[in-house]
Every structure is written in structure tokens, then in C-alpha cells.
Amino acid sequence: MAELKVGILFGGISEEHPVSVKSAQEVARHLDTGKYEPVWIGITQDGAWKLCDGPDAGWESGRPVVLGPGRSLLVLEDGKYESFELDVVLPVLHGKLGEDGAVQGLLELSGIPYAGCDVQSSALCMDKSLAYVVVRSAGIETPDFRILSKGEDIDPEAFDYPVFVKPARSGSSFGVSKVTSGDELAGAVATAAQYDDKVLVEGAVVGSEVGCAVLGNGSDLFVGEVDRIALSHGFFRIHQEDSPESGSENSTPIVPADIPAETAARVRETAKAIYRALGCRGLARVDMFLKADGTVALNEVNTMPGLTSYSRYPRMMAAAGVSLGEVLDRVLALAVSGR
């Protein structure tokens, strides 16, 4: 069987650039090169696309490339170009212009099949306020929230504290603050606005943070073991540590989650319902709150979850007996088949 030529996009211009590079390095360690011919395309923090040998040090010096029509990749050099076709693209990109539908739209225009969520579901999940509206309409609980527009006057007395202030369209807890009094609100809004001009003020949900790694399309979904984030203090701020590989100062992921089997089953079914309501495909990580009364509420959905050595998605899948290599096989097969 001929090897599939897989374009692997990584890096990007968002604040999650370093995480994307680490995710790509983990993909490089687990991708079966007997089945796939990887074509590594790194995107620098200033937006230049580079054809390189892999996501290791020095990849930014690769040759400039652009996507062309008819599934082609154009390699530019000395005023000339050469082109070759890609069979499928795996966009290992996190955050803005990676998970928000932008690169997915570019791939649609180029006619190249790609792994993961499509334009619509990527954009929907990236905007937490829109995701909440859709998920609520499906009968699933979400946090109460209010949208603040750029330059809008804020009345601190309008909120019951504590609240969480966050960019509507960002990831990995960048720009997120927990606010316990009205005196802190303006500063938290200013912090969130550094990442997005649409800011959410969310009512705090009292409960444990749990998550599900979901794999598949439509009715054919596989869910890894549920995890629970055990917090010693503060709130969960994934990828904010100086050296996340060595652990977090305030959180420990417990996989499988230390919750009753019946509760875990309810969490998994809620994750699948959220995934389907938002139109996700391929893979996504669904983060939720498990309340004391057993109710499950949405926190957020990551349409290209971190795939690093310390990331939640591969850890939950591994606990269910599915390696990262198997995950990659499945999402690429779904992308190529179009099912």
C-alpha cells in the first residue's frame, strides 16, 4: 500500500505557538512512518510557512511554502517554485488561526482533506459564548455569562462574585482571571482584552473539573477514560507553568477519575452530546464541571487538544488502551474517507 503523504501543520501565530510545537514533536514520535510520509510545515510566530524536516530546533529556517489549488503545496525558492500534492493535512495548531476555522477554511479552498473539526464547528467551539448558546439549546447546562464588548462601561455591582473573566476566543487559560470582588473586575477585563476584544464574565460553577477525550464522527464515537483535575488551590491553568512536563504547582490530573462508575458514564454521555451538538468531528477534548448533585455542565471544547507528553487528551486515551499512534491512524482515516 502506498504511503499517504500527510502535511503536518504546527506552530502558528497564537499565544499557544510553543504548545503546538511540543504537540508536533509528540506526533513525530508516534506517527507510523511505515504508513505515512510526513511533510512538516511549520508556521512561525510572524505567520511565515516553512517546509522543514520536522518540529525540532531550527525548523524556522526551512524553505517558504504556500498552499495551492488541487491539493498542492508550492515550495518557493530563488524566484521559482516546485509543487507536489498532499493526500491529507493534520493541523496540529492550537488557538487563534489554528482552531478557529481559519486554517480549516484555507484547506477547504485548496481542496485538501484535513483531520479534525470543520470550519463551522471549529469557529463555534472557539467562541465560548456561541458554544454555550448551542449547548444550552441541546438541554445541557453551561455557566451563566455576560459578554462585554470593547470599550463598554462596566458596572461592578451588576455581578455576583466570584466570577471568571476570560477572552471569548482564546485557549489554555491565557488571559483568564478569577475575580472575587468588584474592585478586581476592571483589571481582569483589561487582561482578557489583551487576547480578544470580546470578553466573557462567567458565574463560577461549584464542582470538580472533569474531561473527556472524544474520537470519531456522528454516532460512532469512542471516549477515553474520564479524568478529574484535583486542585490544591486557585484554578486550573493548563500550559501556564514554567516547566509543565514536571507537573503543575496547583493541579494533579487523576485518570481514571476517582468518581463512581455510574457518574463517569453520565460524564461520557454528556461529552458525546456536547460534541454532537457542536458538530465536532475527528477529535476534541470536552471539559466539564461535575457538580455535587451529579449534574454535568460544559466548561469548554478544544477542537485540537494538546498532544504533548503531559496533555490530558493522550493521557485519557492511553488509560483506555488507545495509544497516540492509534489516535492519529483513526483521525487520518476519517479525514481521507470523508465519513
**17 catalytic, yes or no?**
no
Q: Which of 17, 94, 96, 272 is catalytic?
A: 94
Which one of the listed residues 166, 306, 313, 322 is annotated catalytic? 306
Place of cell 471549529: 122
Cell of 283: 477529535
Rounded to 5°, angle at Cα 237 from 234 and 242: 110
59: Cβ–Cβ under 8 A, 6 or more apart, which residues? 11, 40, 42, 50, 52, 53
Amino acid identity for residue 277 in this structure: A
Catalytic residue among 195, 275, 310, 313: 310
- How far apart CA 28 and CA 13 sit, in angstroms, is 21
Per DSSP, 131 falls in state H
Considering 6, 12, 22, 71, which one is annotated as catalytic?
A: 22
For residue 112, give Cα distances in angstroms to 88, 187, 287, 330.
6, 44, 30, 18
Q: Is 266 among the catalytic positions?
A: no
Active-site residue identified among 7, 15, 19, 211: 19
Of the residues 150, 218, 233, 245, only one is catalytic, namely: 245
Catalytic residue, candidates 71, 285, 312, 330 = 285
Q: Is 36 a catalytic residue?
A: no
Q: Is 310 assigned a catalytic role? A: yes
Beta-bridged to residue 41, according to DSSP, are 9, 51
63 is catalytic: no
Catalytic, 313? Answer: no
Query: What is the number of other CB atoms lying within 10 angstroms of the CB of residue 14?
Result: 23
- DSSP-assigned states of every residue in 216-261: EETTEEEE---EEEEESSS---TT-SSSGGG--SSEEEESS-SS-H
- The residues annotated with a catalytic role in the active site are 19, 22, 94, 239, 245, 285, 306, 310
